[in-house]
A and B are shown apart, each in its own frame.
Chain A
Amino acid sequence: MTMNSPSPQPQQAAKPNSPQSADTLYESRKKLYVRAVTGVFANWRWALVWITQIIFYGLPWLSWNDRQAVLLHLTERKFYIFGWVFWPQDVFFLAILLIISAYALFFFTAIAGRLWCGYACPQTVYTEIFMWIEQKIEGDHIKRQKRDQGPMSGEKLLRRGAKFLVWGLVALWTGFTFVAYFSPLHELLQSVPTFGFGPWELFWILFYGAFTFLFAGVMREQVCKYMCPYARFQAVMFDPDTLVITYDEERGEPRGTRKKGIDPRTVSKGDCIDCGICVQVCPTGIDIRNGLQYECIGCAACIDACDQVMDKMNYPRGLIRYTTENALKKHWGSKEILGHVLRPRTLIYGTILVAISLAFVWGLATRDPLRVDVIRDRASLAREVEDGQIENVYRLQVMNMTEAPRAFRFEVSGLPGVKIGGEQRVEVAPAATQAVTLQVLVPYDAGKPGSNPIHFQVTAEDDPSLTVREETTFLLPR
């Protein structure tokens, strides 16, 4: 985009005052003092902060079947998620879940840009929380900047110390909650009074806490600008019909100050009064009036800020708004914009998303709570026992994926006269694996010498419909 008028550079986009070497791509950072903002989109962001954080901080406290409802139990190698218990064998579901997340990201980004970044990303959410704390303790953006530039004083020390303390507590609690997803919460809670955490639990609480503090408190927009891989490739998901936060250049330029109540056209000016508030509220410190930039995380703070200014000036809202490239070029109204939300790209993303989600739900609903692995005993291939019968030995791993103890019966078929010698029943504890050794006997003339296919049938005693059939081979001596 080109600028129509030579306008003064806003204060935050000014050149960094420290010299920088020629071979770095990055300018040295100037600390941002972000002005707080209120409005529709700020409310949306706060709503998302509440929803995501109630879920994040709250989930480990929920109980289900007398255990933690959501526990990714690494030591047991089992993921408990409400009524389900997932085993490493269920990695398929995890893969599908990741594919669903990816397509959801594609879908929403194609429709309305970086919705994830602006509203739901943990980086945004924690930055929002940490900035709120900062605002409460250190005052608004002007006070913070003044105090930072001023000499060290008792008050400065006290306020900064208080801010770091509160940030630290939030960060520690976040780290603690994070670890509670992997290590049972009640055990962690018992360790709190004596500080008797396991060394690795303590390590990860501090690690996650320290990074929360660092990312949300100190680094903030730099994480999005320099560290986030998504910010680098999100542009490929944009097209001319994607809703992005846009400054209406045609309407705004030439920008400039004017007296309130003057019709801007009479002084040959656009609607932008060049107050710079859109820049002051931007958490990444960019000027949205320079067009779409990769630094823009789509938080819409500038929309809220500009709308308030437009209200004060008695101009129509929406000088900065969610709109599409096509809409701006062809002067579309909201009807045409909405009409272009459904287009081949979003329809394809949407169809794939729905199809995979259905497959996921179907897979979960029809998932067998019983799994059996059959392994031939390699030590003894085939052995002749009394009355001329041939014996093969098998090891069966019976996995009971439900949370109730269950008994299973074994049957074998595939050769005339084949039978199981000894115990034909096993009890398996809740969500556990039981190894069973089975001796299978057949008359010596039941099949051809060499390997013969046979089948094991494992059936739950309390539910005959729950049954698993596994093929294996029976060896007859030559």
Chain B
Amino acid sequence: MLKWIQVLWPSFLVAAVAEAIFFTVIDPQELYLFGQPVHYGPLATYSIGFLGFWLVCAASSLSTVFLQRGADELNRRH
């Protein structure tokens, strides 16, 4: 549970900041997805954008948590 929070919470905060900055600068209607203009509604684009940012940030947090394991943890026999 603690690991989940350590991964999901900081990434949520950073994703919120990233979302705000990204979509302030870029109009979602000007985005292209696989060469096609984005045809989702703006609200969907914002939402998918946020969840995407969250996912990317969570991946980063997950790697941090993963790489932070000490030798004891890695050597432990199960």
Interface residues of A (CB under 8 A from B): 23-24, 26, 74-75, 77, 88, 91, 94, 182-183, 198-201, 203-204, 226-227, 229
Whether the Cβ atoms of B24 and A74 lie closer than 8 Å is: no
Nearest CB on B from A23, distance (A): 7
Q: Which of B11-38 contact A (CB under 8 A)?
A: 13, 24-25, 27
Contacts of A229 in B (CB 8 A): 13
> Do residues B5 and A75 form an inter-chain contact, with CB atoms below 8 A?
no
Report how far A91 CA is from B21 CA in the complex, Å.
9
- Cα–Cα, bound, A183→B25 (Å): 20
The verdict on B47 contacting chain A, using a C-beta distance below 8 Å, is yes
Interface size class for chain B? 10 to 19
CB contacts (< 8 Å) of B72 on chain A: these are: 23
CA gap between A172 and B14 in the complex, in Å: 25
**Shortest distance between the CB of B63 and any CB in chain A (Å):** 19
Residue of A nearest to B43 (CB): A200
Point out the residues of chain B lying under 8 angstroms from A198, CB to CB. 41, 43
Chain B nearest Cβ from A115, distance in angstroms: 22
List residues of chain A with CB within 8 A of the CB of B44.
199-200
Question: In the complex, what distance in Å separates the CA atom of A465 from the CA atom of B25?
Answer: 30
Q: Which applies to chain B's interface (DSSP): helix, strand, loop or mixed?
A: helix
For B24, what are the chain A residues with a Cβ–Cβ distance below 8 Å? 88, 91, 94
> What are the 6 tightest A-B residue pairs by CB atom distance, in nearest-first order?
A75-B42, A200-B47, A200-B43, A91-B24, A227-B9, A200-B44
**Cα–Cα, bound, A74→B44 (Å):** 10
Q: In the assembled complex, which residues on chain A have CB atoms less than 8 Å from the CB atom of B25?
A: 88, 91
Residues of chain B having any CB pair with chain A under 8 Å: 2, 5, 9, 13, 24-25, 27, 41-44, 46-47, 70, 72-73
Closest to A227 in B: B9
Partner of A88, one of B13, B27, B46, B70: B27
A201's nearest neighbour on chain B, judged by CB, is B43
Q: Knowing A23-B73, A91-B24, A94-B24, say if A204 contacts B13 (CB, 8 Å).
A: no
Closest chain B residue to A182, Cβ basis: B43
Is A227's CB under 8 angstroms from B5's CB?
Answer: yes
A94-B24, A200-B47, A203-B47 are contacts. A24–B41 as well, Cβ < 8 Å? Answer: no
Contacts of B13 in A (CB 8 A): 229
| Cα(A77)–Cα(B73), bound, Å | 49
Per the bound structure, the CA–CA distance linking A227 and B41 in Å amounts to: 33
Task: Please name all residues of chain B whose beta carbon is closer than 8 Å to the beta carbon of A226 when the two chains form the complex.
Answer: 5
Cross-chain contact A74 with B43 (CB below 8 angstroms): yes
Asked if B27 and A75 sit within 8 Å, CB to CB, the answer is: no
- The answer to whether A204 and B47 touch (CB under 8 A), given A23-B72, A23-B73, is yes
A sample of 20 more A-B contacts (CB under 8 A), given A75-B42, A94-B24, A183-B43, is A23-B72, A23-B73, A74-B42, A74-B43, A74-B46, A75-B43, A77-B27, A77-B42, A88-B24, A88-B27, A91-B24, A198-B41, A199-B44, A200-B46, A200-B47, A201-B43, A204-B47, A227-B5, A227-B9, A229-B13
| B2 cross-chain contacts in A, Cβ below 8 A | 24, 26
Residue numbers in B under 8 Å from A91 (CB-CB): 24-25
**Contact at B70–A23, with CB atoms within 8 Å?**
yes
| 21 contacting pairs across A/B (C-beta < 8 A) | A23-B70, A23-B72, A23-B73, A74-B42, A75-B41, A75-B42, A77-B27, A77-B42, A88-B25, A88-B27, A91-B24, A94-B24, A183-B43, A198-B41, A198-B43, A200-B47, A201-B43, A203-B47, A204-B47, A226-B5, A227-B9
Q: Closest CB of chain A to B23's CB: distance in Å?
A: 8
Bound together, the chains give a CA A91 to CA B43 distance in angstroms of 19
User: What is the bound-complex CA distance between A203 and B47, given in angstroms?
Assistant: 9
Cβ-closest chain B residue relative to A90: B24
Give the docked Cα–Cα distance between A197 and B10 (Å). Answer: 30
Docked CA distance A227–B70 (Å)? 23
In the assembly, what is the distance between CA of A88 and CA of B30, in Å?
14
How many angstroms between the C-alpha atoms of A199 and B41 in the bound complex? 11
A24 to B70 CA separation, bound complex (whole angstroms): 12
Contacts of B46 in A (CB 8 A): 74, 200
Taken together as a complex, chains A and B put the C-alpha atoms of A198 and B27 apart, in Å, by: 21
- Per the bound structure, the CA–CA distance linking A226 and B4 in Å amounts to 13
Which chain B positions have C-beta within 8 A of A199? 44
B20 to chain A, nearest CB (A): 8
Nearest CB of chain B from residue A102's CB, rounded to whole Å: 13
Residues of A within 8 A of B5 (CB): 226-227
Alpha-carbon distance A237/B35, docked complex (angstroms): 50
